[in-house]
Amino acid sequence: MTHQNYWDWMQLALDKALPADRHAELHAHLAECVACAERWETLNRVHTLFLAEPMIAPRAGFTGRFKARRREQHSRPRMVWGFITLGMSAVGTSVFSMFMLALSFWPLAQIVGQPAAANAVFNNVTVASRLASTLAGALWVMVKALGQVILFSPAAWAVALASLAVTVGWLFLLRRLSVQGMVR
Amino acid sequence: MTEQDYVARALAGDEDAFTPLVETYQTAIYNLCYRMLGDGPEAEDAAQETFLRAYAQLRRYDRARSFKTWLFSIASHHCIDRLRKRRLTWLSIEDEDLAPHPNLREAAPGPEASALRREHSAAIQKYLARLAPEDRNMIVLRYWYDLSYEEIAEASGATVSAVKSRLHRARGAMAEMMHAPGPAPARQPALAVEGMNR
């Protein structure tokens, strides 16, 4: 038998799970082993300290507070649906705005997709430089067009930024609500 | 009326039928939450949340099981979740000057007994705060509710052998803290960071 075996028995003894015949064997060992006797004493001190500690009751009115909270929780689903509707609208607007912006890249994509342009790149450096020039020109035209649409259209900025802000706020609220267990 | 009758009535839609169950178990659940979390207001919130979850999930309750053990299971898991979330954002209570629970102060009969009670209570919460959440849960269920290994296993969702192992390890760690010299229990790096020692 090792000391560890006796330590396990001590724990079982404290939990009233040690068979009676082993109790005698444990106590015989404790009588002759100082280290185990010390450990037994410390474990007993922990055990006694915890056994003596009373239960703590909540403040008076716990049930009343529970009922109030339950009532409050009943009214929350409507609020949650309100947030979800608002959030879905914001997400929809964001997606639409991004889609419209992406569409403005279409002329650029068309130029890049031309087979003649690709061949020219591989066959002739001169043509390649012309293509680069064409691409740069197209890009410049697009940037100017975008600039006109976005820079000079505060409404576009306002819609895109507001919808993004609402989306971020909505995601934050959803996260908080899920932490509180209202949205699972 | 029995506990199961109240459950049946609450399931049938009688909201008030759940109230006697809250009144019966409020102290047990609050105490479990307080011992797990070490903070009065947070324990109140966790205990309220336990009953709200129990009410919302009443249809999932298996009537063959003990209602009390089912509540313990909800409260235990909820407190362990809170402790895990707290790990990254909240200073561990072991580093705070632990004030004893106000109800303990009121309950003590005289100044000496009051001082002793406060000292014991503070020591207990310090020891508990240094244990991993799951180990803490084993100690709380064992000492305040006198549950058997099997009942603790049912309430915590662990196996009986895991319960024994965690309970023995936790008690052994606390014995070592108590054995250590000095006014404050010695740090136990393997246990000090909640949940990191498994």
Q: Is A161 part of a structural domain of the chain?
A: yes
Q: What is the pLDDT of residue A77?
A: 65
Q: Does A31 touch chain B (CB under 8 A)?
A: no
Weakest-pLDDT range from A20-29, A120-129, A141-150, B134-143: A120-129
Asked if A121 and A86 sit in the same domain, the reply is: yes
Q: What is the pLDDT of residue B1?
A: 81
Distances (CA, A) of A161 to A94, A170, B50: 9, 14, 41
Asked if A45 and A135 sit in the same domain, the reply is: no
pLDDT in tens, B44-78: 999 999 999 999 999 999 988 999 999 999 999 99
Q: Which residues of A touch B107 (CB under 8 A)?
A: 54
Looking at this protein, which amino acid is placed at residue B153?
A
Asked if A20 and A110 sit in the same domain, the reply is: no
Domain containing A157 equals 77-179
Average pLDDT of chain B, as a whole number: 83
Residue finishing a domain among A36, A51, A66? A51
Q: Is A64 part of a structural domain of the chain?
A: no
Weakest-pLDDT range from A100-114, A145-159, B1-15, B120-134: A100-114
Q: Is A153 part of a structural domain of the chain?
A: yes
Is the pTM above the cut of 0.90? no
Burial of A46 from C-beta contacts in 10 A (0-12 / 13-18 / 19+): buried
Burial of B31 from C-beta contacts in 10 A (0-12 / 13-18 / 19+): buried
pLDDT in tens, B95-138: 444 556 666 655 556 777 778 888 888 888 999 999 999 999 99
Asked if A89 and A9 sit in the same domain, the reply is: no
Looking at the complex, report in whole angstroms how far the Cα of residue A94 sits from the nearest Cα belonging to chain B: 32
Q: Is A149 part of a structural domain of the chain?
A: yes
Q: Does A105 touch chain B (CB under 8 A)?
A: no
**What is the arithmetic mean of pLDDT over A60-64?**
94
Q: Mutation target for B interface from A50, A63, A176: give the one with most B CBs within 10 A.
A: A50
Asked if A81 and A136 sit in the same domain, the reply is: yes
Asked if A39 and A128 sit in the same domain, the reply is: no
Asked if A86 and A159 sit in the same domain, the reply is: yes
Q: What is the pLDDT of residue A183?
A: 45
CB contact under 8 A, A66 and B51: yes
Q: What is the pLDDT of residue B94?
A: 47
Going by pLDDT thresholds of 50, 70 and 90, the confidence category of residue B189 is: very low
Asked if A122 and A47 sit in the same domain, the reply is: no
**What is the arithmetic mean of pLDDT over A80-88?**
82
Looking at the complex, report in whole angstroms how far the Cα of residue A113 sits from the nearest Cα belonging to chain B: 51
CB contact under 8 A, A54 and B104: yes
Going by pLDDT thresholds of 50, 70 and 90, the confidence category of residue A98 is: confident
State the DSSP string of A50-94.
Answer: HHTPPP-PPPTTHHHHHHHHHHHHHHHHHHHHHHHHHHHHHHHHH
In total, the C-beta contacts within 8 angstroms joining chain A to chain B are: 96
Going by pLDDT thresholds of 50, 70 and 90, the confidence category of residue B183 is: very low
Of A114 and B35, the structure prediction assigns the larger pLDDT to B35
Of B155 and A153, the structure prediction assigns the larger pLDDT to B155
Q: Is A121 part of a structural domain of the chain?
A: yes
Asked if A42 and A114 sit in the same domain, the reply is: no
Asked if A82 and A173 sit in the same domain, the reply is: yes
Domain count, chain A: 2
Asked if A86 and A44 sit in the same domain, the reply is: no
Asked if A40 and A81 sit in the same domain, the reply is: no
Going by pLDDT thresholds of 50, 70 and 90, the confidence category of residue A112 is: low
Which residues lie below 8 Å from residue B94, measured CB to CB, with a gap of 6+? B126, B129, B130, B192
**What is the arithmetic mean of pLDDT over A155-180?**
81
Closest to B11 measured CA to CA, from B51, B57, B65: B57
Closest to A3 measured CA to CA, from A41, A29, A31: A29
**Is the CB of residue A18 less than 8 Å from the CB of residue B164?**
no
Distance of alpha carbon B46 from alpha carbon B54, whole angstroms: 12
Average pLDDT of chain A, as a whole number: 83
Q: What is the pLDDT of residue B196?
A: 34
Q: Is A103 part of a structural domain of the chain?
A: yes
Q: Does A34 touch chain B (CB under 8 A)?
A: no
Which residues lie below 8 Å from residue A160, measured CB to CB, with a gap of 6+? A94, A97
Domains of chain B: 1-90 (1.10.1740.10), 130-189 (1.10.10.10)
Q: Is A68 part of a structural domain of the chain?
A: no
Q: Mutation target for A interface from B143, B145, B163: give the one with most A CBs within 10 A.
A: B143
Q: Is A90 part of a structural domain of the chain?
A: yes
